Amino acid sequence: MTTIRTKQVVWSGITMLVLLAGAASVFAFSLGKYEKVKANNGVVSLPFTKLADGKARFYKFEDSGKEIAFFAVKAADGSYKTAFDACDSCYRDKKGYEQQGDKMNCKNCNQKFAVNRLGPNATGGCNPGYLRHQLNGGTISISVSDLKGGAKYF
């Protein structure tokens, strides 16, 4: 009888460890979506090299305790796109976007937006909130004032 009881305790312990490890990895993965960035002289700089593979990179900038989330991605035509990880329509749900091939998908309403069409002419609705940037040498430069302009989404 004690052998059966011991096996039950051991298996219960193993099951609990597996569940805890799984929960910890999900938590760590969700935190891992964003890289925290800091400004230098009022500008956040992102090196082109991080975007060379065409995969969207997600960032968070902290301003007075508020985290402002955005992403940067290199389009198929070689241009660089930056946008807030939120939109005018779905920002209240705080789900943001994920990349699916050459499109950014709203994780709230499932609308998809072509990466090469992101920019100042694709605004409103569920389009990713446009974030102005400049290209300087080998970096994308985003002013802190432009980042603060998207604080309303977060």
User: Domain holding 116: CATH number?
Assistant: 2.102.10.10
Tens-place pLDDT, residues 82-114: 999 999 999 999 999 999 999 999 999 999 999
The mean pLDDT value for 1-13 works out to: 60
Say whether both 87 and 143 belong to one domain: yes
CA distance 79 to 18: 44
Tens-place pLDDT, residues 128-153: 999 999 999 999 999 999 999 999 99
Say whether both 24 and 39 belong to one domain: no
Predicted TM-score of the model (pTM):
0.78
Burial of 68 (0-12, 13-18, 19+ CB in 10 A): buried
Q: What percent of the chain has pLDDT over 90?
A: 75
Say whether both 120 and 52 belong to one domain: yes
**How many other CB atoms sit within 10 Å of the CB of residue 77?**
7
Residues 94-131, buried b or exposed e (16+ Cβ, 10 A)?
Answer: eebbebeeebbbbebeebebebeebbeeeeeebbbbbb
Q: Is 102 helix (H, G, I), strand (E, B) or coil?
A: coil
The mean pLDDT value for 57-61 works out to: 98
Say whether both 79 and 120 belong to one domain: yes
Identify the H or E element spanning 47: strand 43-47
Say whether both 110 and 51 belong to one domain: yes
Which residue range(s) make up the domain with 26?
1-32
Say whether both 7 and 51 belong to one domain: no
Q: Per mean pLDDT, which range of 24-38, 63-77, 83-97, 105-119 is the poorest?
A: 24-38
Say whether both 40 and 63 belong to one domain: yes
Question: What CA–CA distances, in Å, run from 149 to 18, 46, 70, 146?
Answer: 43, 19, 12, 5
Say whether both 52 and 104 belong to one domain: yes
Say whether both 25 and 64 belong to one domain: no
Say whether both 70 and 111 belong to one domain: yes
Q: Number of structural domains, the chain?
A: 2
Please report how many Cα atoms fall inside a 13 Å half-sphere around the Cα of residue 70, on the Cβ side.
Answer: 29
CB 44 within 8 A of CB 141: yes
Dihedrals φ, ψ of 101, to 5°?
65, -125
